[in-house]
Chains A and B, each alone.
Chain A
Amino acid sequence: MTKSLEGEAVDPPPDAADASRSSAGRGRLVPFLFPALAALVATLFVLELAIGSIPIPVGDVVRFLLGAESGNEVWNTILWDLRLPRAIAALVCGAALGAAGLQLQTLFRNPLAGPWALGLTGGAELGAAVTIAAGTIVGSAFLAQFGFLSGLGVVASAMLGAAAVAAIVAAVARRVSTMTLLIVGLMLGYLAEGLVSVIMHFTTEIQGKVFASWSDGSFGGVQWEDFPVLLPTLFVGLTVALLMVKPLNALLLGERYAASLGLPVERARLLTLLGAVILAAPVTAYCGPILFIGIIAPHMARGLLNTSDHRLLMPATMLLGAAVTLAADLVVHLPWERHVLHLNAVNAVVGAPFVIALLLRNRNMRAMEF
C-alpha cells in the first residue's frame, strides 16, 4: 500500500528535460532533485517507525517493512498496530495537504491560500462538532457507538462541512475578485469556528473531550480500519491534482488568458476546488485540522525548483508535504519526558520561520506576483 502510494507521488514528471528549461538557473539540478526528495521521504518514514518511547533499530524496521518479522513480537505489534498506520497517515496526508495548498494558491493567485485560509478546515470542524453534539439528541448510547475519533459519522460530516464551505466559496467565486474571495473564505472559517464554540457550549464534558482531542490535530488516532476510506479518497484527490497540472499552468496567467488559451475556466475552477476538498476534507476528518503544511509545502517547492511550472511543482509539493509532515510528526512523538507536543505547534514553530527565511533569501520568491 505504502509503496504504491509513494510510487504515485514520486512519479518523475514526464519530459523533465523540457520542463526543466522553465526554471531559471536550476534546471540542471532537477533530475537529481526528485530522487533526493523521495529518498528524504523514505528516510523520514523509516525514522518515524523507528523512533518513539520504545526505540526500534532501523535495520529491524526495514526488515519489517520488507515483509519479514522484526525479530521481536512486541516490536511487531508496536509497528503494525501503532506506528505504521500513523506513519502512512502522515505520509499521504502531508502529500495531500501540500497538493491542496498548491492548487488553491494557484487558483486564487494568492500565496496565502490554503485549506485553512479558505475555510475548508473550519467547515470540517463545524461538521464534526455538529455530529459529535448530535449525540446529545440521539442519545449517548449512539455516541458511544462511534465514540472513537475515527467514527464514520464524524468523518462524513466533516467532509460535508468542508464541501459546504467550498460550495459557498465556489458560488461566490464567479462574482468577486480573488482577493475578496479569499477574505470570504477566511470569514467563513471564523464563522464556522465561532459556531463550533457555541455548539461546544451546549455539549457534555465527554463530547467536549472527544471534540477537543479531534481538533488538536494528530495522526496518532488513525487506525487500519480508517484506510479503506481515507486512502482511496486521497488517491483520487492526488491523481486529480496530478492531472490538473496543465490547467493550473494556464491559470498562472490569470483566468482571461487561461480562457484565451482554450481552457474551460469555469470547469477548471470547479475541478480544482473539488480536488482540494477531496484532499483536505478527509485529512481534516480523520486527523483533525492540520495547519500550515498546505501553505508551506508549495512555497518550499517553489523555493527549491525556482519555477511555477506545475508539472514540476505538483510532484515536488507532494513529496515535500509528505517530508515536512513526517518530520513534524517525528518531533511530536520523540520520547518526551512528560509533555505531549501538539503537531500544529511544531508545524507553526518550524514552518513559519522557514517560510520567512525562504521569502527573504530568494529574490525570485519575492518577485512572485500572484
Chain B
Amino acid sequence: MLTAEKLDIGYRSRRGTTTIARNLNLRLEAGEFVCLLGPNGAGKSTLMRTIAGIQPPLGGSVVLDGVDIRTLTPNQRATRLSVVLTERATAGLLTGYAMVCLGRFPHTGWFGNLTAEDREAVHNAIELAGAGPFSDRLVAELSDGERQRVMVARALAQEPRLMILDEITAFLDLPRRIEIVRLLGKLASDAKRSILISTHDLDLALRTADRIWLLRADGTLDTGAPEDLVLDGSFGKVFADEGIEFDPLHGSFSLGKAARAGIEVSGGDPVQRAWTIRALERNGFRPLDRAGDHEAYPSLELLGDAGWRLRAGSSAPQSYDKLYELVRALKQMSPTLRGTPLNP
C-alpha cells in the first residue's frame, strides 16, 4: 500500500543539506501495524514527517496507493493519511467532540459543517477509540491518556488509509500505553488500515507490531517481524551502537554492568528464580546454574515463601526474606568473592 524506494531523508536549509538517512526502502501493507524504533536523533520524526508528506524527501519518493504523495493536493493527502504529532495540539476551548469533528476537515465544505455521513464518521471514530466517556469535556482538561484517545479518534475521523502517530505512548503510564497500542493494532487489522507509530517502547513494540522498522543512528534501516530482527541480530547491533547490550533471550536490554562475582543459584519456582536472577544481574552478580567447584562461589538457595538462604565461604548460612537485604549483604561481601569474567 505504501512504498518508498531509495528514499533519502533530511533537511534543506540555507546553510546546506543535512542528510539523516539514505537509500531507505520501505513497504507498508494494508492492515499492518508497524512500529518504528530507533535511538534519539536517528531521524524517526524526520522519517515520519517525510512519509506523511509534511516535509519533502531529499531523494526518492513515497508512494501511497500508487500515487506519489508529493503530487497530491493537501486536501487529497489529508483524505488518505492522517497524523498524530508529538507536539501538543493547543485546543483552546474545544471539547473532545469538536476536536474529533475537525478530523472531518478534508471532507467538509466551506464552513466545515457536518453532514449526516460526517457525523456518523465522527461517532464511529469516537466509539472505536474509546473516547466516548470524555468527548463532551474540554480537551485542555483531559488527562494525557484521554487526550491521546481523542487525538486517535480525530485521526480516525479523517478516514485515512494510513495513520501515522509520532511518539503516541510518550507521557502515558504503562496501562495507558498498553491500551493505546493494543487499540492501534486492532484498528489496523480490523479495517485494513495501515498504522505506523514511532515509539521508544521496545517491549510493547516487540509484542504488538506486525513489523518493525529499526532505524540505526547511522541512518540504515532494518525491517522485519519483531522476532526476525531479534534472531538475525539487528536489535543487538542497534543497541551495541548505543553501548547497551541487547538480551535476545528476553527481548530486552541489559545494562551491561561489569559482573562482580558468580553466584550459584538453586531451587525455587520459575518466578522466584527469574526475579532473583534479575536482581542479581541488576547488581552486577552473575548467576550460575551449578558451578563445578562448590567451594569457589557463594551459593544461593531459593526457598519459595521462606525466602533465600545464602552460603558464602566457611561462614554459617544466612537467611533473607527480601531480595533487597540479600543484595545488600552480597554487595558488602563482594570484595572477598571471586570474580568471573562477564563472557567466559
Residues of A within 8 A of B99 (CB): 253
Which residues 58-73 of A sit at the B interface, judged by CB distance below 8 A?
Answer: none
Residues of A within 8 A of B127 (CB): none
CA distance A325 to B97 in the complex (A): 34
Asked if A21 lies at the interface with its beta carbon under 8 angstroms from chain B, I say yes
Residues of A within 8 A of B54 (CB): 256, 259-260
Residues of B within 8 A of A136 (CB): none
A368 with B87, Cβ < 8 A, contacts A22-B97, A246-B111 known: no
Closest to A106 in B: B92
Interface stretch (choices A47-55, A165-173, A301-309, A348-356) = A301-309
Query: Measured between C-beta atoms, what is the minimum distance from B82 to chain A in Å?
Result: 7
CA distance A109 to B113 in the complex (A): 23
CA distance A23 to B97 in the complex (A): 9
Structural contact, A254 and B87, CB atoms closer than 8 A: yes
CA distance A249 to B90 in the complex (A): 11
Interface residues on A, range: 35 or more
Structural contact, B78 and A262, CB atoms closer than 8 A: yes
The one of B52, B75, B92, B110 that contacts A262, using a Cβ cutoff of 8 Å:
B75
Asked if B233 lies at the interface with its beta carbon under 8 angstroms from chain A, I say no
Asked if A311 lies at the interface with its beta carbon under 8 angstroms from chain B, I say yes
Structural contact, A256 and B85, CB atoms closer than 8 A: yes
Query: Measured between C-beta atoms, what is the minimum distance from B165 to chain A in Å?
Result: 11
Structural contact, A23 and B90, CB atoms closer than 8 A: no
Asked if A250 lies at the interface with its beta carbon under 8 angstroms from chain B, I say yes
The one of A253, A259, A261, A302 that contacts B90, using a Cβ cutoff of 8 Å:
A253
Map CB proximity to A onto B44-88 as digits: 1 under 8 Å, 0 otherwise: 000000001010000000000000000001111111001101010
Residues of B within 8 A of A264 (CB): 74
The one of A13, A15, A308 that contacts B91, using a Cβ cutoff of 8 Å:
A308
Structural contact, B78 and A256, CB atoms closer than 8 A: no
Structural contact, A261 and B105, CB atoms closer than 8 A: yes
Map CB proximity to B onto A282-316 as digits: 1 under 8 Å, 0 otherwise: 00000000000000000000100011110100000
A254 with B89, Cβ < 8 A, contacts A259-B74, A262-B79 known: yes
Structural contact, A306 and B106, CB atoms closer than 8 A: no
Map CB proximity to B onto A227-260 as digits: 1 under 8 Å, 0 otherwise: 0000000000000000101100110111011011
Structural contact, B52 and A307, CB atoms closer than 8 A: no
Which residues 351-370 of A sit at the B interface, judged by CB distance below 8 A?
Answer: 364-365, 367-370
Which residues 124-176 of B sit at the A interface, judged by CB distance below 8 A?
Answer: 136-138, 140-141, 158
Asked if B282 lies at the interface with its beta carbon under 8 angstroms from chain A, I say no
Asked if B28 lies at the interface with its beta carbon under 8 angstroms from chain A, I say no
Residues of A within 8 A of B93 (CB): 23-24, 302, 306-308, 364-365, 367-368
Structural contact, B113 and A14, CB atoms closer than 8 A: yes
CA distance A18 to B108 in the complex (A): 14
CA distance A112 to B101 in the complex (A): 27
Closest to B82 in A: A260
The one of A22, A243, A257 that contacts B95, using a Cβ cutoff of 8 Å:
A22
Asked if B119 lies at the interface with its beta carbon under 8 angstroms from chain A, I say yes
Asked if A263 lies at the interface with its beta carbon under 8 angstroms from chain B, I say yes
Query: Measured between C-beta atoms, what is the minimum distance from B152 to chain A in Å?
Result: 14
Residues of A within 8 A of B89 (CB): 253-254, 257
CA distance A253 to B98 in the complex (A): 11
Structural contact, A260 and B52, CB atoms closer than 8 A: yes
Residues of A within 8 A of B91 (CB): 252-253, 308, 369
Query: Measured between C-beta atoms, what is the minimum distance from A224 to chain B in Å?
Result: 34
Structural contact, A15 and B114, CB atoms closer than 8 A: yes
A369 with B110, Cβ < 8 A, contacts A250-B105, A259-B74, A260-B83 known: no
CA distance A254 to B151 in the complex (A): 14
CA distance A13 to B112 in the complex (A): 11
Which residues 25-39 of B sit at the A interface, judged by CB distance below 8 A?
Answer: none
Residues of B within 8 A of A311 (CB): 111-113
Closest to B99 in A: A253
Q: Which of B52, B87, B137, B138 has the most CB of A within 10 A?
A: B138
The one of B74, B76, B85, B141 that contacts A367, using a Cβ cutoff of 8 Å:
B141
CA distance A13 to B110 in the complex (A): 12
Asked if B291 lies at the interface with its beta carbon under 8 angstroms from chain A, I say no
Structural contact, B119 and A18, CB atoms closer than 8 A: yes
The one of B76, B85, B92, B98 that contacts A260, using a Cβ cutoff of 8 Å:
B85
- 14 pairs of residues in contact across A and B, judged by CB atoms under 8 Å: A15-B113, A21-B98, A245-B112, A256-B54, A261-B106, A262-B74, A262-B78, A262-B105, A307-B98, A309-B94, A367-B138, A367-B140, A369-B140, A370-B90
Since A246-B110, A311-B112, A369-B92 are in contact, a sample of 15 more A-B pairs with Cβ atoms closer than 8 Å, ordered by chain A residue number, is: A23-B98, A245-B111, A249-B112, A252-B94, A253-B91, A254-B87, A257-B85, A260-B83, A261-B105, A261-B106, A262-B74, A311-B111, A368-B92, A369-B90, A370-B92
